[in-house]
Amino acid sequence: MPDEALDLDTPAEELPPDDARELVATIRAEIARHDRLYHVDGHPEISDARYDRLFQRLQEVEKRFPHLQSDTSPTQRVAGEPRGELPTLPHAAPMLSLDSTQDPEEVRRFLDRMRKALGSDEIEYLLEPKLDGVSLELVYERGVLARAVTRGNGREGEGVIDNVRTIPSVPLRLREADRGTPEFLSVRGEVLMSLSAFEALNEELVKAGVEPYSNPRNSASGALRQLDASITARRPLQCLAYDVLEVRGPTFRSDEEVVGALREWGFPIPERVRTVRSVDEILEYHAAFERDRDSLDYEIDGIVVKLNGLRERTDLGATAHHPRWAIAFKFEPRKEITRIERIVIQVGRTGVLTPVALLLPVEVGGVTVSRASLHNREELERRDIREEDLVRVQRAGDVIPQVVEVIAEEGRTRAAPFSMPDRCPECRTPVQTKGPFTVCPNRLACPAQLKGRLSHFASREGLDIEGLGSETASLLVERGLVTELADVFDLEEQDLLPLPGFAEKSARNLTAAIRSRRTTELRRFLYAVGIPEVGSAVAGDLASHFGTLERLWDAGEEDIQDVGGVGPRMAEQIRGFFQEPANRAAVARLRDRMEALTVPTGESPGGPFHGRRFVFTGTLESMSRSRAKELVEDAGGRAVSSVSGETHFLVAGAGRGSKLEAARKLGVTILSEQEFLAMLADAGIGL
C-alpha cells in the first residue's frame, strides 16, 4: 500500500496483535523499497522527514510487540553494546588484489596475453571505476545478512557485522522481487565516504576539538573497524557491491549478469559500469573518468578492466596474489608544489641511511604529505635536491610520497648541497659506503637497527608475535628493555606495565604471545633473524635442505649453493653472516631461549616445473620478465637472478647480455622466448 495510507497514528498499545504484525511487515517492506529508491536507483519518492516517521513508527510497534522484532528489521541498523574485540573470520573465497599499471601500452600487452591464452580475438571486457575505499565481504545465508568481513590479508579478516548493519545501503535481507535468493551468497564491495560527507564530518570534529581525518578512505576504515558500532552508525558510510565471490544456486555466464543480479538483489553498484570490446574503448573510458575525477563526490584512482566471460576467467585462473583476467588501469598521481624545510637521515633495519625530505605540509589527492624519501646518496646527488628547494611532489600509486622535480626560482640563492653524515646519527659509528648506499656497520649495537630488526623478528612472516609491532618495538628499545633480540624472551608482565599504552591485559597478552613462539618453525626463525638476502621463500628452502640451525651455520658456501634458488652471491652473504662472531653469538643466545625449531615433513611443492631453476635475460616480447618469473614459480619452479651450475634453463630475450655466455660455458640449456612459451603450453600453463 502507499505509505500515506499506513496507520502511523494509532497508539501502539491500542493495536490488535494481528494488525501490529501486518503493520510491521508493511512498514518494513516500504522502508526497504525507499532504501532501494534512494541508494540503488537514486530517485527518492519521499522526504527525509516522512522516511524518519516511518522508521519511528516501526520502532514504536516493535517495542510494544517484542516478539515481532527481527535481525532483518531496519531498526537493527541502530547499534547495540560495544564489543571487546573484533573476531578474525575466514573469507568464503580469496579476496585477491589487482595487478596495476599507469601505462596504456602495458594494458595493451595485458589484453594481448589474455587473447593469446584464450585463443580468441573476440573478447568482451567489463569496465568499472576503481573505488578508493575499504574492501568488504558480505555473506548472506538464505537471503539474510550473516557475516561482514574486512579484506585483511585476503584469506581472512575482521568480523564487523554489527558495524555494517548500521550502513543504510547494505541490504539486511536480499530483495526477492526480480529473482530468487540463493542459499549462500558472498559479495565483495567497497565501503566509501563521499567527499562532501567527509568534509562535513571533519568540520564537526574540528568544532569539537578533535583531530580531523586525513582522507575519506582512512575515515571509512576507522569507522568500519570501531569496537563501538554506535560510532559507525554516526559516520556517513555507503557500500557499493561489484563482485560475487561465491554463490550456491544461480549460475552466471558473464560479469555483466553478476552486476545485474547484484542490483536486483538490492545492492548499490558503481556508476558507469559498461562492457566494451576494444582497447580504444578502454582508453576512452579511462580518459573520461580521469577528466571527471575532480568533479566526482567520491575518490577513485583509476578504472578496472575485467574479462566479462566467467568461464574464460576460470580458464585463465589466478596467481597467489591477483587474477590473470583483470587489471587496474591507474590514473597519473596527483601532484602539488611545496617546499623542503629540512633533509634528515633515517636509519633502517639493515643499517642503510636514507635521506628523507621534511616538507611544508601539502595536501596531495586528499592526503596531507609532510615527508618523502630521497632514496640514497647517489640519487640525491644526481637530482641535486637541497634544503629549502621548491619541489613538486606526488603520491606514487596515490600512496607513497615522492619528490618529482625541483622547481627553479629565479633570483633565489639555493642552500648548499646536502652531504650524507660521516657518522650514524643514531649510534655515532663511522659509516661505510656500499655502492649508492651509506651504511652503518654497527649491526648489533645501533638502536635504530635494533628497532627495525625487532619489528622484523616479530612480523607475520617471522615469528608472528601478536602485539609486537613497530611502535612497541621502538618503545622496548628506547626504554632499554631490549638491547638484543634474545632479550624479548626475557620480558615479564611487570616490565611492560609502566610503558605507555600497556595495562594488565595487554601486558599479559604480549608476554603470552612471546612465550608461545618459543617453539616455531626453523624457516620462520631463519627469516626472523635477518640474514642478508634471505626472504621467507629462501628461508623455507634453507630449512628444508639443512633441517637444523646447526647444520646451516656450519655449512660452506658450496653446500649452501646446493639449495635451489641460492646463487654464489647469496651463499656468500649467508655464510658470511654465520661466520661473523657477533652474529653467531647473538643467534646462539636466541637459540638458547627457544624450545624447538621444527621443520614440517611430508610437504611436496609439486607443479610441472618443480625442482627446476630458470634465469631470464634480455627483453621478452610476450610478457614482462617479472610475469615470466611469476609463471615459473606458480608452476613449482624457481626463478633466480644469476647463472650457476645448478641452473636448468636460461631464457634469452632480445638484448641479452653476459648471462648468455655464462650459460654456454656451464652447459645450461638455453631457450628462446618461443621455446619457453612452448614449454609453458606443454605444461598446460596459460599466460
* Rounded CA separation 491/438 (Å): 34
| Statement: residue 398 has pLDDT above 70 | no
Q: Three cell numbers at 298?
A: 567520491
Q: Three cell numbers at 549?
A: 640451525
| Statement: residue 84 has pLDDT above 60 | no
Closest residue by Cα to residue 305 from 548, 109, 50: 109
**Residue 436 to residues 86, 231, 354, 379, Cα–Cα distance (Å):** 45, 49, 11, 8
CB-CB contact of 529 with 553 (8 Å): no
Across the range 113-137, mean pLDDT stands at 92
Given pLDDT bands bounded at 50, 70 and 90, which one contains residue 486? very high
Q: Which carries the bigger pLDDT value, residue 413 or residue 155?
A: 413
Which residues are marked as active site?
130
Amino acid identity of residue 351, one-letter, is G
In this prediction, residue 177 carries a pLDDT of 67
Q: Which carries the bigger pLDDT value, residue 23 or residue 336?
A: 336
Q: Lowest-pLDDT range, 58-62, 186-190, 257-261?
A: 58-62
In this prediction, residue 605 carries a pLDDT of 44
Residues 557, 563, 564, 565, CA torsion sign: negative
% of the chain beyond a pLDDT of 90: 34
Amino acid identity of residue 617, one-letter, is T
% of the chain beyond a pLDDT of 70: 89
3-state secondary structure (DSSP) of residue 136: strand
Across the range 435-461, mean pLDDT stands at 88
Closest residue by Cα to residue 419 from 355, 367, 369, 368: 355
Across the range 275-286, mean pLDDT stands at 95
Identity of the highest mean pLDDT range in 2-6, 174-178, 245-249, 279-283 = 279-283
Across the range 211-217, mean pLDDT stands at 73
Q: Lowest-pLDDT range, 39-48, 372-381, 629-638?
A: 39-48
| Statement: residue 308 has pLDDT above 90 | yes
Given pLDDT bands bounded at 50, 70 and 90, which one contains residue 629? confident
| Statement: residue 430 has pLDDT above 50 | yes
Q: What is the pLDDT of residues 553-581, one digit of tens each?
A: 888 888 888 886 687 888 898 999 899 88
Given pLDDT bands bounded at 50, 70 and 90, which one contains residue 442? confident
Identity of the highest mean pLDDT range in 25-39, 377-391, 660-674 = 377-391
Taking all residues of the chain, what is their mean pLDDT, rounded to a whole number? 84
In this prediction, residue 591 carries a pLDDT of 92
In this prediction, residue 603 carries a pLDDT of 38
CB-CB contact of 237 with 193 (8 Å): yes
In this prediction, residue 30 carries a pLDDT of 77
Amino acid identity of residue 399, one-letter, is V
Given pLDDT bands bounded at 50, 70 and 90, which one contains residue 370? confident
| Statement: residue 318 has pLDDT above 60 | yes
How many residues can be counted in the chain?
687
CB-CB contact of 532 with 574 (8 Å): yes
Q: Lowest-pLDDT range, 139-143, 542-546, 610-614?
A: 610-614
Other beta carbons within 10 Å of 1: 8
Which parts of 224-382 are beta strand (E)? 237-248, 274-276, 300-307, 326-330, 335-347, 352-364, 367-373
| Statement: residue 272 has pLDDT above 90 | yes
| Statement: residue 452 has pLDDT above 50 | yes
Show the domains of the chain with their CATH numbers.
3-77 (1.10.287.610), 100-330 (3.30.470.30), 333-437 (2.40.50.140), 447-517 (1.10.150.20), 522-598 (1.10.150.20), 613-682 (3.40.50.10190)
